[in-house]
Amino acid sequence: MACNGPYFSKLLLNAILFTVSKHCPRPELRSDPDDITTAGWRFRQRFTELLRESFDKSEITTLQALIIMSNSLFSRCDERSLSWLYAGNAFNMIIDLGLHVLPSPNKMSAEELEVRKRVLWGAYNEYDELDTFKDITYSATEQRSAIPSLNVSLLTKLCELSIISERILCELYSESQNMSQSQSQKISADISSDLSKWRSSLPPQLDYMSYPRESVLLPQAFCLLALSYVLTILSQRPLFTGSHPGCTRNSATAYEAVSMCTAAANQIVQILRDYSQHFSITSAPYMLSYATYISATIHVRIVAQKGRGSNSFQCLLLCRNVLREHLRLYAAAGKAMANLEKLVAHLGIVITEGDEAGTSMISLADDLPVQETISAPNLSNVSNQTIEMGSPQLNWGLSDLDLEAIAQSFRLDSELHYLMHPVGI
């Protein structure tokens, strides 16, 4: 930077400064001193000015800057069109520069080769598997002992989940799909099988819930597990929200789907608690914020029928608090919070200041409360069934739920579909 070296540019510097400014409490960095969401605005303006001079030239520093800004615009600013525009140009520059092709031996210096390799990996995740993880943006405390970042493993497993995610969106949520209830059940069952295989193939170091002694506690690993439970919820919802008349009434399949969704939502809450024990929940990646919202959409429906005394009510309060913490980081969290509040009001759920005050005193790291156990009557394949998803705390009392009412509340929830396209990775 001081010598204006080949891998430094003012464009890249301003992209970095804008991205990290969201963690800085200094009011002088904001265009509006009273609005923390405006932090770093001048860096973004300067980035836009400099980009006019660099947009038509493929350079490593330019594509780095575009990728960094693309990530911030997507999650922090919720400007998805501009985010995809920047990302698309960055990926084209990768091809234009040939970073995706292994160069001939001795064609370039070791330094240049290493830079190209790291930029290529950085465009999709990070870089080397055993590179030391740095938690400066994830934790409010000093860095812990050195641990590997496991970036290759994380990227591989995230890509596998992305393939499953695409199938869910294309086959279960596409407006062009017109399938019978039996077809929907078959697709959901296939996807559940894929998710189970994915979980069983997850390396122990990335699965702290199943292998607590062998795992490496990384924020991205927490997010990866949370996303897997999000996909469980999205793959099961059509089984009790389908448009087929009477498909949800007292259906064994619907009860099982609701049980799996509730269990997955519960697991996401547990991940939030565990995450906060090791990292700062206020600076969590957007993927965890999205998972929080999806979890809340399940808990709010259970609360609407089970009442304020249910465990889901405490989970709902926790999810609302987490989303509130993310408001200063992500504009998308603000939309999610607003939609959740509308849903709470629509379902007639009353949340008082006393509830909020009581929740603020509860440590996120506390264990979830023991769940009620009520078997589903007259459903031989559901009675006394425990949905096991990595935790022993997943027996839920669902036998007296009005599944048709739950289904109807989702059908009225069309305004929330934008949060499912894409899954906000």
Q: Which of 139, 296, 278, 310 is nearest to 233 (CA)?
A: 296
Tell me the DSSP string of 391-409.
-S------TT--HHHHHHH
Name the pTM for this structure: 0.67
**pLDDT averaged over the chain?**
78
Say which DSSP state 104 is in.
P
pLDDT band at 242 (very low <50, low <70, confident <90, very high): low
Q: Given the structure tokens 């407006």, which residue do they identify?
A: 175
Q: What is the largest CA-CA distance in the chain?
A: 76
- Reported as a single tens digit per residue, the pLDDT across 67-91 is 999 988 887 777 888 988 998 999 9
CA-CA distances (angstroms) from residue 127 to 134, 136, 150, 188, 207?
A: 13, 17, 9, 34, 20
Q: Tell me the two tokens of residue 273.
A: 């608690």
Contacts of 27 (CB under 8 A, 6+ apart): 33, 34
- Length of the chain measured in residues: 425
pLDDT at 230: 95
Domain layout of the chain by residue ranges:
10-122, 218-420
Alpha helices (H) along 201-251: 219-236, 238-241
pLDDT at 86: 92
CA angle 280, 313, 366 (to 5 degrees): 40
Mean of pLDDT values over 34-41? 80
pLDDT band at 130 (very low <50, low <70, confident <90, very high): low
Most confident of 219-233, 271-285, 355-369: 219-233
**Amino acid type, 229:** Y
Mean of pLDDT values over 171-188? 78
**CB 277: neighbour CB atoms within 10 A?**
13
**CB 271: neighbour CB atoms within 10 A?**
24
- Reported as a single tens digit per residue, the pLDDT across 189-215 is 999 999 999 999 999 999 999 999 998
Q: Tell me the two tokens of residue 383.
A: 């009675």
Strand runs labelled E in 58-199: none
pLDDT at 227: 95
For residue 172, pLDDT over 50 is answered with yes
Q: Tell me the two tokens of residue 309.
A: 């005394």
Mean of pLDDT values over 116-138? 71
Q: Which residue(s) pair with 30 in the sheet?
A: 39
Mean of pLDDT values over 169-187? 78
Q: Lowest-pLDDT range, 220-229, 281-290, 339-348, 402-411?
A: 402-411
pLDDT at 353: 73
